[in-house]
Structure 1
Amino acid sequence: MTLRPRAVGILFNSKNQVLLMLRRKNGKAYATLPGGGIEEGETPAEACAREVLEEVNLIVEVGPEVLVLDNLQNHEHYFLTRLVSGEMRLGDGPEGTIRQSGQNWYQPEWVSLEKLEEVNLVPEQARGLVRGLNDQSKSKEGNQ
């Protein structure tokens, strides 16, 4: 089975919150980090920037790749990102137009790290990754 290549962005704001895409699909509630498929001829970093813009209307600078994960049917590249501009809302990509319905909806939301444990974040590895990156960020700020 060929794994589908995906790119995922991890974005924190100044309030120590992480950007998640809250989802409800066929009665199941869960959350993901913004991201999606890598198109032909596109690098994972380029796909990350495009997907974040399409999903949540934010322009980001893509930083280091922090994880590569084979998860179910996906080969996922996770990148730390930094906000450049934009106002967070459901973007103009398929999530906001084609896929939005009564049985399938998307809602971007900033989630505090304290509330992260209450969210059904998938894949499971994303929670630990987000926490670890936040801890690293705090450690760097404390050393400056």
Structure 2
Amino acid sequence: MRQRAAGILFNAQNQVLLMLRRKNGKSYATLPGGGIEEGETPAEACAREVLEEVNLVVEVGPEVLVLDNLQNHEHYFLTRYVSGEMRLGDGPEGTIRQSEENWYQPEWVELSRLEEVNLVPEQARGLVRGLAEETA
């Protein structure tokens, strides 16, 4: 199984940061994250992946979910903004993977619109809602 880490980041406007995706003709959204590299902890991978994908430095907080999803063993962390301007980062998503068929776009999504977004995996939607209520 591939090891993966993702970050959950809220802003003061009651929005969550998602990576909107289009791949193989399918549109969906994920929480920013990616593969854990050799020698990295899941928390270190979360911070690195958020920086690579959306150009933000975050402080990684508690691990809030671990699940097996498709061929991934995934670690989800609550994160806190430290610095940076949100945009498609300088990692592979923004440099070598971006194409008409494989498209990435980070976006702040209103929690009230969460049901309109095809957020995967499905467990992420409930997790985001629950954390938003706890941190409000």
Q: Which amino acid aligns with 1:97?
A: T
Q: What's 1:34 paired with?
A: 32
Q: What's 2:88 paired with?
A: 90
Q: What's 2:116 paired with?
A: 118
CA-atom RMSD, angstroms?
A: 0.5
Matched, 1:64 2:62: yes
**Computing the radius of gyration over CA atoms, which structure comes out larger, 1 or 2?**
1
Q: Which amino acid aligns with 2:11?
A: N
Tell me the TM-score normalised to structure 2 length.
0.99
Q: What's 1:23 paired with?
A: 21
- 3-state DSSP of counterpart to 1:95: helix
Choose from 51, 54, 70 the match for 2:49.
51
Q: Quote how far apart the aligned CAs of 1:134 are.
A: 0.6
Q: Which runs of 4+ in 1 moved over 4 A?
A: none
Q: What's 1:136 paired with?
A: 134
Q: Quote how far apart the aligned CAs of 1:62 are.
A: 0.2
Q: Quote how far apart the aligned CAs of 1:137 are.
A: 1.1
Q: Quote how far apart the aligned CAs of 1:83 are.
A: 0.3
Please list every run of 5 or more consecutive structure 1 residues that lacks an aligned counterpart in the other structure: 139-144
Q: Quote how far apart the aligned CAs of 1:113 are.
A: 0.6
Please list every run of 5 or more consecutive structure 2 residues that lacks an aligned counterpart in the other structure: none
Q: How many residues align?
A: 136
- 3-state DSSP of counterpart to 2:39: coil
- Residues in 1 aligned to 2:135 and 2:17: alpha-carbon distance in whole angstroms: 16
- Residues in 1 aligned to 2:101 and 2:72: alpha-carbon distance in whole angstroms: 23
Q: Quote how far apart the aligned CAs of 1:107 are.
A: 0.2
Q: Which amino acid aligns with 1:25?
A: K
Q: Which amino acid aligns with 2:63?
A: E
Q: Quote how far apart the aligned CAs of 1:60 are.
A: 0.2
Q: Quote how far apart the aligned CAs of 1:40 are.
A: 0.3
Q: Quote how far apart the aligned CAs of 1:27 are.
A: 1.2
